[in-house]
Amino acid sequence: MEQIIGVFGIDWRLLAFQIVNFVILLLLLKRFLYKPVFKLIDERRGNIAEGVRNAEAAKIQLGEAQSDAAEKRNRAIREADALVEEGKRHGAKQREEIVAEAEKEHRALTAAAEHEASLLKKKALEESHEEIARLAVLAAEKIIRKSA
Model confidence at 3: pLDDT above 90: no
Tell me the pTM.
0.45
DSSP per-residue letters across 87-122: HHHHHHHHHHHHHHHHHHHHHHHHHHHHHHHHHHHH
In degrees to the nearest 10, what's the CA dihedral of 69, 73, 78, 83?
Answer: 130
How far is it, in rounded angstroms, from Cα 109 to Cα 46? Answer: 91
Tens digit of each residue's pLDDT (9 = 90 or more) over 67-112: 999 999 999 999 999 999 999 999 999 999 999 999 999 999 999 9
Tell me if 12 sits within 8 A of 5, measured CB to CB. yes
Tens digit of each residue's pLDDT (9 = 90 or more) over 108-130: 999 999 999 999 999 999 999 98
What is the predicted pLDDT for the residue at 9?
Answer: 74
